[in-house]
Amino acid sequence: MLVITLPEVDLTDPEVLADPFTTYGRARERAPLARLLIPGLGPIWALTRHDGARAMLGDARFELTADSFMRPQVPDDCLPYMRTMSEMSGPEHARLRKLVAPAFTPRRAAEFRPRMEAIVDALIDDLPAHADGEQVDLLRHFARPLPMDVICALVGIPEEDRPRWREWGASVVAGAGQDFARAIPGIMAGARDAVAARRARSRQEDDPGDVLGELVRVQAEDGDRLSDTEIVTMVWHLVLAGQTPTNLIANAVAALLSHPDQLAAVRSDPALMPGAVEELIRWCGPSLLAVPRHARQDVELYGATVPKGAKVTALIAAANRDPRVFADPDRLDVGRTPGAGHLGFAHGPHFCLGASLARVQTQVALTALLRRFPRLAMAAPPEELRAPDPGTWRLAALPVTL
């Protein structure tokens, strides 16, 4: 009998937390399949290389389920709204995604760019007021509020309600702790209120003009396509998932400010920015691991049998630096010629719905920051600012001098 020896990665290892790119990269070079060890959860199978990771993310034999996510304790009346598109597969997932996908196309993201630019400019105008001496925390006062303001505008959350969505979003970003659990009832109530307000407005408007208006219109025309529970769930999920660019923007700023040659390149040639954002997603995107899938049956992978029900993930951080796909992969190169796509937004049926919006938003944010603050600089080394998180590459703060 063939015995397969796979590299194992302990996600609580300080070395993993400090530098997952190197640790995951070593596993990738040893084998295309590894096992992740998480105390209390048991091992998770992991695809380490680009081709295997991409294939698994698009393979119907591996599915996302409720058990793929860590869920906080919530009151019983909130439970019906906790099952989101992310936990669905097949026709059920496709039905709901199809309803909102038109609002997140590259064309719609480009059309929404002027609104994003106005939001970015307003936040930048306020930055000096938040400065403590010569320093300001760009994470707290720019990278975190920006995506929430953008997604609220796109979805159609009433402007007067957006400050509380900012607070809820901050609780969610902080993780599945007590603050997150306490925020859940308010989030659900806020989503119900937003639906009711948009439904009332829609009676007086012909053009819905936003995602929520379109969902209300669809439900009014054919209630079988979208239930009341589904529309409320869709609203809160879209808004909170819309915070995805927060860590990407913060990581991108830190990366550019830590690489003067790359910073100089994008400053001297703004046309590089779209490609630079793709490279930054590849090189320092926040997703280190894909959300775990579950094997729907026994699956043979690289000589090993992944049993039915086992959790399987992709090491995004390893795949995006796979030398089989990317030349000199550990080097940040904003002028890199596009080749095989990175997996920063995953792949397959659950490819990030808001990818186009995140791309344009990051382009707008970086362009405006570099234009408005020609002397922008880090106020502390990035390695001292990292949050210890084996699944997400993120900063706990981003102090800069303007």
Q: Which pair of structure tokens corresponds to residue 290?
A: 């894909």
Distances (CA, A) of 362 to 100, 124, 229, 275, 277: 21, 14, 32, 11, 7
Residue 98: count of CB within 10 angstroms of its CB: 10
Residue with tokens 């819905």: 208
Q: Which pair of structure tokens corresponds to residue 261?
A: 């040659």
Rg (CA), the chain: 21
How far is Cα 344 from Cα 143, in angstroms, rounded to an integer?
18
What pLDDT score was predicted for residue 244? 85
Q: Which pair of structure tokens corresponds to residue 156?
A: 């159609």
305: left (phi over 0), alpha (psi -120 to 50) or beta: beta
pLDDT digits over 318-362, tens only? 999 999 999 999 999 999 987 669 999 999 988 999 999 999 999
Q: Which amino acid is at 377?
A: A
pTM over 0.85: yes
The residues, ordered by sequence, that sit 6+ positions from 280 with a Cβ below 8 Å of its Cβ are 248, 251, 252, 255, 256, 332, 334, 362
Q: Which amino acid is at 182?
A: R
Give the DSSP H or E segment for 314.
strand 311-314
What pLDDT score was predicted for residue 49? 97
How far is Cα 137 from Cα 143, in angstroms, rounded to an integer?
9
Classify residue 139 by its DSSP letter. I
Residue with tokens 């400010």: 257
CB burial class (10 A; 0-12, 13-18, 19+) of residue 222? exposed
48: left (phi over 0), alpha (psi -120 to 50) or beta: alpha
In order, the DSSP letters of 198-224 are: HHHHHTT-S---SHHHHHHHHHHH-GG
How far is Cα 282 from Cα 43, in angstroms, rounded to an integer?
26
Q: Which pair of structure tokens corresponds to residue 282?
A: 């590849």
Q: Which pair of structure tokens corresponds to residue 356?
A: 């186009």
pLDDT digits over 25-66, tens only? 999 999 999 999 987 777 899 999 999 999 999 999 999 876
In order, the DSSP letters of 14-53 are: HHHHH-HHHHHHHHHHH-SEEEEEETTTEEEEEE-SHHHH
Residue 70: count of CB within 10 angstroms of its CB: 9
Q: Which pair of structure tokens corresponds to residue 309?
A: 């029900």
* Phi/psi of residue 183, nearest 5 degrees: -80, -20
What pLDDT score was predicted for residue 203? 63
Give the DSSP H or E segment for 185.
helix 178-202
Which residues in the chain show pLDDT less than 50? Answer: 1-3
What pLDDT score was predicted for residue 221? 81
What pLDDT score was predicted for residue 200? 85
How far is Cα 174 from Cα 182, in angstroms, rounded to an integer?
12
What pLDDT score was predicted for residue 1? 36
Greatest distance between any 2 Cα atoms in the chain? 71
- Sequence length of the chain is 402
Report angle CA 122, 126, 129 to the nearest 5 degrees: 175
